[in-house]
Amino acid sequence: MATPGAEEDVLARYRSPLVSRYASAEMGFNFSERKKFGTWRRLWLYLAQAEKSLGLPITDEQIREMEANLDNIDFKMAAEEEKKLRHDVMAHVHTFAHCCPKAAAIIHLGATSCYVGDNTDLIVLRDGFNLLLPKLARVISRLADFAEKYADLPTLGFTHYQPAQLTTVGKRCCLWIQDLCMDLQNLERARDDLRFRGVKGTTGTQASFLQLFEGDHSKVEELDRLVTAKAGFKRAYMVTGQTYSRKVDIEVLSVLASLGASVHKICTDIRLLANLKEIEEPFEKDQIGSSAMPYKRNPMRSERCCSLARHLMTLVLDPLQTASVQWFERTLDDSANRFV
């Protein structure tokens, strides 16, 4: 079978089903290349604006040129530059400079690659939490309505999956709600604990910025504060190496994995109750339950949730290993796996 190139057929290349099948449009965009590299350009703009306000020789014309090209990204040129330079950040510096020739000399001034890379990751994590939290709150609200509606409807309780004392449908649902409320609280805490990496230089000492500002520590501290605020964060991490601590990724994945465990438990209960004909998932007019047995009403939504939850729960092992093997201020073996 012929394998046409991506130019001929985008379906001839692997696409992650996490995006093509399961992600919302908003979450898909949040982790997209357009969001990522558009954020890089905004971070370069924030840096230039802050440096200008603190006295570096940056002109209004250069700032306006950058502002006018934040989303004017030539992805083909960037890919060609990266292939040549073997450096993704410098490839996009050159691509941005190509459409901002007057600002070329001040793009990325004093910064290291992690200024755009790590700060963008923190923005994406924050924005991802902000997309997820309202959805989880709606699930809890709808389950609360269901629990109240069926608060007095008796049903057989199970321990060890053996018949036990009676409970009610609403009471059982409250078990699910309680777990999800704990997840909501943990997710909010993890989001609120996120800080900005900020303007820390190559090894976290801000040496390159101290050189730009001729040793003026107060200006460098103000630069960090200004850029942090422009990015929408109230605080930056006080101490970093070249990167923010990879312990942050452990915290984020841990609360997400915990949510995955709750979802798996709830949907497993629903699958078992479906077999007992106590609860059924919605079945749409033209839906087919099985290719061989179209009359079947499989709990496909709950099965999908369990499948994705199992995948989610395993992801926390990756940042645990990454954080444990970071050498001194940073090693690059935290890159490819974090992209995935």
Residues designated catalytic: 160, 290
DSSP 241: S
Sequence-distant (6+) residues with CB within 8 A of 112 are 201, 202, 208, 242
Q: Taking Cα atoms as reference points, which of 257, 252, 280, 268 lies closest to residue 175?
A: 268
Neighbours of 52 (CB within 10 A): 16
Q: Taking Cα atoms as reference points, which of 329, 124, 115 lies closest to residue 223?
A: 115
DSSP SS3 for 153: coil
DSSP SS3 for 203: coil
CA distance 74 to 37: 11
Distances, alpha carbon 237 to alpha carbons 107, 193, 194, 307, in Å: 24, 10, 9, 36
Distances, alpha carbon 74 to alpha carbons 2, 81, 216, 231, in Å: 29, 11, 37, 24
Name residue 196's beta-bridge partners.
236
Q: Taking Cα atoms as reference points, which of 236, 218, 246, 226 lies closest to residue 338?
A: 246
Burial class (CB in 10 A: 0-12, 13-18, 19+), 168: middle
Sequence-distant (6+) residues with CB within 8 A of 302 are 267, 268, 270, 271, 274, 281
